[in-house]
Amino acid sequence: MRTKRTKRTKKIGIKRLMGALAACLFLASCSEPEMPTGRSVKVERVISAQTIEIVDNFNPVPTLQAVRLIGIDAPDLKQQPWGVEAKTELEKLTQGREVLLEFDAQQKDSFDRLLGYIWQDETLINEKLVKQGYVLASEKVPNNKYSDRLANAQEWARLMGKGIWNPEQPMRLTPSEFRRQQR
């Protein structure tokens, strides 16, 4: 009799702990965000779930410019089914639309791509992709303005079993591990 009560008590305690943790993460993600600053750009094309192409009207001659989204690591397109799903979601959210491009400490990477966060209607798209379980949060110093938000979104997606965190079909290799194996 005592063993049954102990097991049931432990199950209830774990459920309460998980509920409290989920509530804390939810409340942390609901905190009043600072208003982003940046420039409005049109997304012409989504190359992958972490790279878009915009029309850069700030040059004397408007050109297409690649933008690498900061703070995320997306599954490779060959990493099925997650890479294609993540790219498709980013296309749904941004392709052909005006977004706000916000920079962090560095504006360009070694491949001459712009580095940025993209916002649409006060929604940080980088964070939304993480929270829905399409991509991983990935802190890259010195570009870490929203690292805490992205880490909280990832923990929420993991706890809720979203996307790549789905226990029935989890992504077994991180994108960087997958790319290393493909060399």
**pLDDT digit string, tens, across residues 62-82:** 889 999 999 999 999 999 999
Q: Determine the 3-state secondary structure of 118 from DSSP.
A: strand
pLDDT exceeding 70 applies to what percent of the chain? 81
Q: What is the pLDDT of residues 127-182, one digit of tens each?
A: 999 999 999 999 989 999 999 999 999 999 999 999 999 999 999 989 989 989 98
Q: Is the pLDDT of residue 18 over 90?
A: no
Tell me what pLDDT residue 11 has.
59
What element of type H or E holds 91?
helix 82-94
Residue from 109, 117, 114 nearest 63 by CA: 114
pTM score, whole prediction:
0.79
CA 102 – CA 96 distance, rounded (Å): 18
Q: Is the pLDDT of residue 89 over 90?
A: yes
Q: In the structure, what pLDDT confidence band is assigned to residue 21 with cuts at 50, 70 and 90?
A: low
Domain edges within the chain: 39-165
Mean pLDDT computed over 113-127: 96
Beta strands in 32-157 (DSSP E): 39-48, 51-56, 63-69, 72-73, 98-102, 114-120, 123-124, 136-137
Mean pLDDT computed over 92-100: 96
Q: Which letter does DSSP use for residue 40 in this model?
A: E
The domain over range 39-165 is classified in CATH as 2.40.50.90: yes
Determine how β-strand 72-73 pairs with β-strand 51-56. Answer: unpaired
Mean pLDDT computed over 53-70: 87
